[in-house]
Amino acid sequence: MKLKPLADRVVIKLVEAEEKTKSGIILTGSAKEKPEVAQVIEVGPGGLVDGKEVTMTVKVGDKVITSKYSGTEVKIDGEEYTIVRQSDILAIVE
């Protein structure tokens, strides 16, 4: 099954948290922080949203940072994704 977002929506998948700290300490599952970086999986076409023209600036494969509690979480074929509006994306990580 494939998700195809509409309008200014973007499908993202959270990048796994680091298993080790910079100093080399291995973290247990409960000690890991929730990942803040996500990868863009699919991008909607943009267009007219709430009476304003929206041009999509993110593309598939971009790594992005989103608002912490934004979007709708969905589970498809055992994989967890989040659908957010492009305006909920705070930055593209380069």
**What pLDDT band is residue 1 in, cutting at 50, 70 and 90?**
confident
- For residue 1, tell me if it sits in a domain: no
Predicted local confidence at residue 36, as pLDDT:
76
Instruction: Provide the domain limits for residue 69.
Output: 9-17+29-93
Predicted local confidence at residue 44, as pLDDT:
97
**What pLDDT band is residue 31 in, cutting at 50, 70 and 90?**
very low
Whether residue 40 contacts residue 34, with contact meaning beta carbons closer than 8 Å, is answered with no
Read off the CATH number of the domain in which 40 is found: 2.30.33.40
Give residue-wise pLDDT tens across range 34-84. 557 899 999 999 999 889 999 999 999 999 999 888 899 999 999 999 999
- For residue 42, tell me if it sits in a domain: yes
- For residue 70, tell me if it sits in a domain: yes
Q: What are phi and psi of 90, to 5 degrees?
A: -85, -35
